[in-house]
Amino acid sequence: MPRADILTDATRGLSLVPTAGVPAFAILASGRGSNAEALMNAFAAGRIRARLVGVIANVDGAEVLNKAIACGVPTRLIAHKGLKREEHEEKLFAVLNALGAEHLLLAGYMRVLSPWLLSRFRGRIVNIHPSLLPEFPGLHGAERQFRAKRSVVGATVHYVNNGVDTGEVILQGSIEPRGDEDEQTLVRRILFEVEHVIYARAVRLVVERLGVTDAS
C-alpha cells in the first residue's frame, strides 16, 4: 500500500473566505500530467467536494490534454511559445474566466506565474513540490533529496506566492528510502506513493476550509 505520512496541515492557520456553492478548480500543467491525472480521478470519484472545470496546458502536444479528454474534463491549450509572458497570461486569464475557475492547481506547470496573475488568484493557487520544503526548493527536488542521502524524503503541497516554493504549506507526505534503490526508483516512488496521495488530500483540506460540506 502507498505510504504517505501527513506531517503538516497548515490550513488551520489561514483565513479563507467561504464561497457560496461548490468551488471551481482548474488544473494547469505542461507535460505528462501524472499528478493532474491523479487529481482528475479524485474529482471524478467524488473525493474532492468541488468542481473541476478544466485542464489547461501551455505546451502543444502535452500528454496531459489526452488524459483530460479520456477523463471527460474540458481542455484548453494556451501555448506560450512566441508570446511575451504578459500576452500569454492575459490569454490564460481570459480562458480561466470563461471556464469559471476560482482556484488553480499547478501540476507540473513549468511556468513562473507573474505578480499580475498571482494577484488575481491570491490565496487560491496551489502547487505540489517533490521535496519536504523548505529543503530543496526549485528544480529537481526529488533528485536532490536522493543525492543528499536523507533518511526521510517526500513532497509538499503548498500555496503559491511571489517566491519560489515559499508559500504556506498545506500538507506534506514522506517515505523512507530503501537501501538498494537508485535515484530513478526513489523519484518514481515519491511521485506515486506520496505526490499522488497527498495532492488530493490537500485539495480536500482547502475545500473544507472554504466551508464546503456538500458536493451536491
What is the separation of C-alpha 51 from the centre of its chain, rounded to a whole number of angstroms?
Answer: 15
Dihedral sign of CA atoms 28, 33, 35, 39 in order: positive
pLDDT of 212 reads: 74
Q: Residue 99: which of 23, 188, 13 has the closest Cα?
A: 23
Positions of the chain with pLDDT lower than 70, given as ranges: 1-20, 213-216
pLDDT of 33 reads: 95
pLDDT of 213 reads: 61
Q: Is 129 a catalytic residue?
A: yes
pLDDT of 20 reads: 53
Q: Pick the catalytic residue: 129, 140, 158, 196?
A: 129
- Residue 23: is the preceding peptide bond cis (ω within 30°)? no
Locus of grid cell 500530467: 33
Architecture of domain 1-16+127-211: 3-Layer(aba) Sandwich (3.40)
> Tell me: domain 19-122, CATH 3.40.50.170, correct?
yes
Predicted TM-score of the model (pTM): 0.88
Where do the CATH 3.40.50.170 domains begin and end in the chain? Answer: 1-16+127-211, 19-122
Between CA 71 and CA 65 the distance in angstroms is: 10
